[in-house]
Amino acid sequence: MSIRTRVLAAAVAALLAGTAVPAAAKTFRFAFQGNYQVLDPYTLNETFTLGMHAAAYEGLTKRDKDLNIIPGLAERWEVLEPLRWRFHLRKGVKFHNGNPFTADDVVFSAQRVRANGSDLKTRLPADAEFVKVDDHTVDVVLKTPNPILHYEWDTWYIMDKEWAEANNAVNPTSASATTPSYAALNANGTGPFIVESHQPGVKTVWKPNPNWWGQKEHNLTEVIFTPIGNDATRVAALLSGEVDWIDPVPLQDIQRVNSNPNTQVLTGPELRTIFLGFDQRRDELKYSNVKGKNPFKDVRVREAFQKAIDLNLIKERVMRGASVPAGLLISPLLLPSGAAELFPPAKVDIDGAKKLLAEAGYPNGFEVTMDCPNDRYVNDEQICQAVVGMLARIGVKVNLNAQTKTRYFAKVLATGGYDTSFYLLGWTPGSFDSWNVLTNITGCRDDSGKGGPFNFGGYCNPKLDELSAKILVETDKAKRDALIVEAWKLERADVSHIPLHQQTLAWGVSKKAKVVQRADNQFLLYWVNKE
């Protein structure tokens, strides 16, 4: 290489580098199947919405890319004594309107999130007291020890007391409000993005917050969200490059999105577990031809059902490979380390199932009606149809009652009187912890739902309840983990429910964009980078 070409090359390189330096406008557009309905962070406890709030709002804690709890607006915290936690707040943080973030805002937010109209009341224990020590220190005084106190605080977003008071938004935007709330259409957090405009159901626009306290991990200059409800249109918008991210990609379109040179599907295990449940509370099933007794009270019948269901077949045929067969009612990612291997998915065993049914007194099977949603989970109705076919192999005739989620939940929830004999449900523990499932799904309940509100079938084992009460207050991690494993072993012996699988997340992403897919399916804008 002559000197002249070398000089030329250096000049060209310098030129290229020079042109690359100025920050070009990086607009990131994305579409979700549902709406971002309300900006008020306490109105709806739903994954996508909580993730969207995280652009403008922040909690005392955050969760990193692997769901580990890290400091957020609280720099650090310590458990002074089992009933007193101390949170040291970050200094120099400002809300979008310029107000400083102080302990008053934390105390205020703790009141507001537990006030009437909030859908996130369970983020904090109802009887926990928040005490301001100084401007940047808050003590939380508890009535009972709680090792997982701060597990869900990454989505308990801190609001500005002054702003809420000035705008008549001291109370959460309740479901039955008769006047529109200011906080429903306006946001004022401390987060990395500022909401520039929000037209509910149409479009939301964010701009980066130039005064954010943290280390920026995105390179965006503008973010635009539009809901696209129709599956085909959403996929088309991604393929044509109009949006950079969509969720979900329907299973049948995954191939298509991957074969497009500019897009790809990002898949990963989701935390939600899909399972089947049985009515074990009524003395006679409401929807069955067995009269005078309830076959599901017999553990042999439940086990027979489990043995008849081929989880791998459901994965291959119904889910097109996009699921992970489950051995428990909770994702293996959320179990204490090493515990997942103890609970492999159940194996199919038709002869064993028939034998168990015969022992239980139903050699010719029986008839039962199954309730199933058809627009709530990925391919939910098809899963139920597969289950119907599989149970037919052991002589059980299942009549499928699949309907839209609004009607399904109106029937099977406590408010509908738990009106079901056999059903399909999905559950994600909000705290990412077994205790949530052990109370909500397998805890004993009364007819109104006290105890285990989402235990539709009313399964009850007092020993399991005892264990779960111990898990709640045990602060020693090793002991607590051992208790969790013990509880799950007990639950498996009872076959309280039949775990089916964890769905696979399927995000459609433009190859120009880099995003972080977290297993809880929250889409967080502050980790997005665009070429």
Residue 70: its H or E element: strand 69-71
For residue 46, state whether it binds another protein (rule: CB under 8 A): yes
Contact stretch for another protein (CB under 8 A) within 67-75, 126-134, 350-358, 422-430: 422-430
Minimum CB distance to another protein smaller for 395 or for 499: 499
Query: Any idea which residue has 């235990």 for tokens?
Result: 455
Site for another protein contains 449 (CB under 8 A)? yes
User: Nearest distance from residue 346's CB to another protein, in Å?
Assistant: 25
Q: Is 382 exposed, middle or buried (0-12, 13-18, 19+ CB in 10 A)?
A: middle
User: Left if phi > 0, otherwise alpha if psi is -120 to 50, otherwise beta: which for 432?
Assistant: left
- Per the structure block, which two tokens stand in for 429? 């523990």
Distance, CA of 456 to CA of 404 (rounded, Å): 18
Taking the complex as a whole, how short is the minimal distance between the CB of residue 175 and another protein, in angstroms?
A: 5
- Phi/psi class of residue 293: alpha, beta or left (left: φ > 0; alpha: ψ in -120 to 50)? beta
Eight-state DSSP code of residue 314: I
175 part of the interface to another protein, by CB under 8 A = yes
Locus of tokens 């739902």: 449
Is residue 475 part of the contact set for another protein (CB under 8 A)? no
| Residue placing its CB nearer to another protein in the complex, 185 or 469 | 185
The correct pick among 9, 15, 70, 202 for binding another protein (CB under 8 A) is: 202
Residue 454 found at the interface with another protein (CB under 8 A): yes
User: Shortest approach of another protein to residue 377 CB, angstroms?
Assistant: 11
Examine residue 446 and tell whether it contacts another protein (CB under 8 A). Answer: no
Give the CA distances from residue 342 to residues 338, 346, 489, in Å, rounded to whole numbers and listed in that order.
8, 12, 9
> Which one of the spans 35-43, 56-64, 86-94, 278-286 is the region binding another protein (CB under 8 A)?
35-43
Establish if 410 lies at the interface with another protein (CB under 8 A).
yes
Residue 292 region by backbone torsions, left for phi larger than 0, else alpha for psi between -120 and 50, else beta = left
Q: How far is the CB of 505 from another protein (least distance, A)?
A: 17
Phi-psi region of 217 (alpha: psi -120 to 50; beta: other; left: phi over 0): alpha
**Smallest gap from residue 452 Cβ to another protein (A):** 10
| Contacting residue, 137, 453, 470, 492, with another protein by CB under 8 A | 453
Asked if residue 472 binds another protein (CB under 8 A), the reply is: no
Could you tell me which stretch among 124-132, 178-186, 340-348, 355-363 binds another protein (CB under 8 A)?
A: 178-186
Residue 247 sits in the site that holds another protein (CB under 8 A): no
Q: Are 206 and 187 in contact (CB under 8 A)?
A: no
Residue with tokens 């989505």: 155
358 interacts with another protein by CB under 8 A: no
How far from 520 is each of 66, 272, 502, CA to CA, in Å?
A: 10, 8, 12
Quote the CA–CA distance of 42 and 174 in Å, as a whole number.
9
Identify which of residues 130 and 225 has a Cβ nearer to another protein in the complex.
Answer: 225
Contact assessment for residue 222 and residue 209, using Cβ atoms and an 8 Å cutoff: no
Residue 44 sits in the site that holds another protein (CB under 8 A): yes
Tell the residue number behind the tokens 């058809």, with chain if given.
Answer: 374
Decide: is 413 part of the binding site for another protein (CB under 8 A). yes
Residue 253 near residue 231 (C-beta atoms within 8 A)? yes
**Is there binding between residue 230 and another protein (CB under 8 A)?**
yes
| Residues 6+ positions from 241 with CB-CB distance below 8 Å | 262, 510
Distance of CA 284 to the CA centre of its chain: 35
Among 259, 262, 312, 404, binds another protein (CB under 8 A): 404
Selected binder of another protein within 233, 255, 262, 289 (CB under 8 A): 233
* C-beta separation of 460 from 446 below 8 A: no
> Considering only residues 200, 269, 336, 352, which one is a binding residue for another protein as defined by CB under 8 A?
200
β-bridge partners, 225: 30, 204
Q: Which stretch binds another protein (CB under 8 A): 60-68, 239-247, 308-316, 477-485?
A: 239-247
Using CB under 8 A, which residues numbered 94 to 123 contact another protein?
119-122
Q: According to the binding rule CB under 8 A, does residue 406 interact with another protein?
A: yes
Interface residue with another protein among 32, 41, 43, 285 (CB under 8 A) is: 43
Is 262 near another protein (CB under 8 A)?
no
Q: Is 38 in the site for another protein (CB under 8 A)?
A: yes
> What is the size of the binding site for another protein (CB under 8 A)?
62
Task: With CA atoms as reference, report the closest residue to 37 among 212, 243, 184, 191.
Answer: 184
Q: How far apart are CB 484 and another protein at their closest, in Å?
A: 19
Pairwise CA distance, residues 357 & 427, whole Å: 28
The three-class DSSP label of residue 153 is helix
Under rule CB under 8 A, residue 242 binds another protein: yes
229 near another protein (CB under 8 A): yes
Give residues in contact with another protein (CB under 8 A).
31, 35, 37-38, 40, 43-46, 119-122, 173-181, 184-185, 199-203, 226-230, 232-233, 236-237, 239-242, 404-410, 413-416, 427-428, 430, 436, 440, 448-449, 453-454
